[in-house]
Structure 1
């Protein structure tokens, strides 16, 4: 049976346990992660797992826009999901970071003229 005389000790232990739980809890998904080159993906594009650098052959350019080769999805050149790549590489952010889902953001290298 619980004794009220033990309450202060119980409350202190409960406080320590709750604090430890906070310290080991996963990092909130509102923190963006970094590209290999060190720049951070915007939170609007990434929930910590959605973005990654992809090889040039994963994205093709057609008259209608950028084509995600693996899914066939086409993003018009003026699509708001298309953004400039800070490191000159392609970076693809897809739902859940999966290779068969829709695009959240596509970072493209600058056009060379």
Structure 2
């Protein structure tokens, strides 16, 4: 006999169903106060419920192959190029090109030793 533990989300999703069944806005706010939650929490639970239902509906269970290995996961592709942090040297305005290629000052230091 296979008994699965109860899903805690079912209780929370039941909370959403109760909230949705109330039509009077005053009674809805009273319900939120009595349960101790907020409307944003109810909306988040509703979103989780809808995502779980969509996930379960879109992914039917595939039978395992006879070798017992199960379905193979797809290996993600490596990125085509590395992430660049600066443009290449050929890109840029003429002003920057002239600035890069200008003559740098040269210093010559001469030291005389006097006796």
- Which is bigger in relative contact order (C-alpha 8 A, separation at least 6)? 1
Q: TM-score, normalised by structure 2?
A: 0.21
- Quick check: which one's strand share is greater? 1
- The structure that is helix-richer by fraction is 2
Structure label with greater radius of gyration = 2
Task: Please give the TM-score of this superposition, normalised by the length of structure 1.
Answer: 0.22
